[in-house]
C-alpha cells in the first residue's frame, strides 16, 4: 500500500472530524430536548448532570469545529 500524501491525510482527518461533529451534535440536541421535556418531572440531580453533559458536548462541538477549520485552512495552504 502506498503512503498517503499530506493532503490525503488531512482530508481523511476532516472526514473523521465530520463524523465526530455529527455524533456529538445529535447527542447534544437529543439531550437538550430531553432536558426541556423532563425538566419538571426528573430528579434534580439528573437534571444537573444532564446540563453538565450538554455543556461538555457543546464544548466538544466547538473544539471539533475549530480543529476542522484549522485543518481545512492547512489543506488550502498545501
Q: Is the pLDDT of residue 1 over 90?
A: no
Taking the chain, what is the end-to-end CA distance rounded to the nearest angstrom? 23
The confidence score (pLDDT) of residue 6 equals 87
**Interval 16-64: pLDDT, tens:** 999 999 999 999 999 999 999 999 999 999 999 999 999 999 999 999 9
Do residues 65 and 21 lie in contact, with contact meaning Cβ atoms separated by under 8 Å?
yes
Dihedral of CA 38/44/48/50: which sign? negative
> Which residues fall within 8 angstroms of residue 20, CB to CB, at 6 or more apart?
60, 64
Amino acid at each position: 500500500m502506498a503512503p498517503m500524501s499530506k493532503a490525503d491525510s488531512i482530508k481523511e482527518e476532516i472526514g473523521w472530524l465530520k463524523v465526530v461533529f455529527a455524533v456529538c451534535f445529535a447527542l447534544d440536541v437529543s439531550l437538550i430536548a430531553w432536558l426541556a421535556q423532563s425538566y419538571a418531572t426528573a430528579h434534580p440531580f439528573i437534571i444537573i448532570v444532564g446540563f453538565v453533559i450538554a455543556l461538555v458536548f457543546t464544548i466538544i462541538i466547538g473544539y471539533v469545529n475549530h480543529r476542522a477549520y484549522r485543518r481545512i485552512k492547512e489543506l488550502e495552504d498545501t
